[in-house]
Chain A
């Protein structure tokens, strides 16, 4: 015991620990060629992140994400209600995160406007029209359009979604960029025809080639970090399409995504991503 303690003491006194610590801290020089990669908050400030001060997709979270230096915009999840209003919400059913129940597609705005998240801050469920759009000036607003109504196992009416987005003027927006993420193939053409910038969610390079032939007007693709290599990303970009990577949470995941050089990261941890980028 005494011998072990003496050894530890000698090790500490010899300055080896300090040397190792300094080596860990300053040995890895960060690459500085990530300037062109944009950083967007996933569901505003990240999904189920402990360090997120506000609930995902809340008005407070959107404003908080946009206020962080280096954040280029936010991605938000949208559902359309029975009366044609668009609401920010991630899950399929309301009971998982709010004090309401059912699916947004089957409910009307009168009920939805009374709901709040099951958090300490009790952020209200917010309609898209209630966001302060002037905060997006010079930034990008990414709309993840949810097509599935799990309560009736069907697809929500596309015309409601398109007409509401158009009534908000989002297809003509000049002060900030509006991008629509679509993961249901039948929705691609109508949204392109309605004048929106559309990104499609894909899971392989083969799927990219297939969709690229069918829909050459697509502006870009949304991919999961774990499904695509650096070469895959380069291949998509070589076809003059943009690539946004999502599903990134840990510093290791963020670093791996940055090294693939996509056009943007849709991150769950904005702080950690900004640290890695800068």
Chain B
């Protein structure tokens, strides 16, 4: 997972150097979101290159982490494509992949893991400081250690993700 993240950031930095500076914006956003499993809060770093906006996002589950003292991290990679720009509004589709992990039963060494692939939309409003909103849905898979079969198994379901946030552009 971390190797994937490293490759993504590496390609990100190469791409950043190879394009004209006047068409590039960097963005950091802080947001509050929700999936089927928990509420999440975290930060997103992205770069807007023409219409494309690839991003990497780090979040943590609010209920699990802050109310149940169990760290529940979530890492996402993806990209938005702003095909619609009108004044201070930007809108476009967004695709993302997320991975999250949680240790539910501390009597065992097993973890529940979630993989999510979502398609949705992203809206931004503002100039230097922007209000952001993401609404997306798609495939969610939960993998866990099955105590009936004594091996890992998985279940697929329809998942969703939405968030509201504030981003700073420079």
CA distance A53 to B140 in the complex (A): 10
CA distance A51 to B38 in the complex (A): 8
CA distance A175 to B101 in the complex (A): 34
The proximity string for B residues 6-27 relative to A, scoring 1 for CB distances below 8 Å and 0 otherwise, is 0000000000000000000000
Given A53-B142, A70-B104, A24:B157 Cβ within 8 A: no
**Across the interface, which residues of A come within 8 angstroms of B127, CB to CB?**
none
Given A25-B65, A50-B36, A67-B147, A275:B104 Cβ within 8 A: yes
Given A53-B157, A121-B157, A276:B105 Cβ within 8 A: no
**Across the interface, which residues of A come within 8 angstroms of B108, CB to CB?**
69-70
- The count of residues in chain B whose C-beta lies closer than 8 Å to any C-beta of chain A is 31
> When the two chains form the complex, which single residue of A66, A70, A135, A272 contacts B68, counting CB atoms closer than 8 Å?
A272
Let me know if B68 and A278 touch, CB within 8 A: no
**Across the interface, which residues of B come within 8 angstroms of A120, CB to CB?**
157-158
Let me know if B106 and A278 touch, CB within 8 A: yes
- The count of residues in chain A whose C-beta lies closer than 8 Å to any C-beta of chain B is 28
CA distance A30 to B69 in the complex (A): 9
List 30 contacting pairs A-B, 8 Å CB cutoff, sorted by A: A24-B66, A25-B65, A25-B71, A50-B36, A51-B37, A53-B142, A53-B157, A54-B157, A66-B148, A67-B144, A67-B147, A67-B149, A68-B147, A69-B104, A69-B105, A69-B107, A69-B110, A69-B144, A71-B147, A120-B157, A135-B148, A251-B67, A251-B68, A271-B102, A272-B68, A275-B64, A275-B104, A278-B104, A278-B106, A278-B107
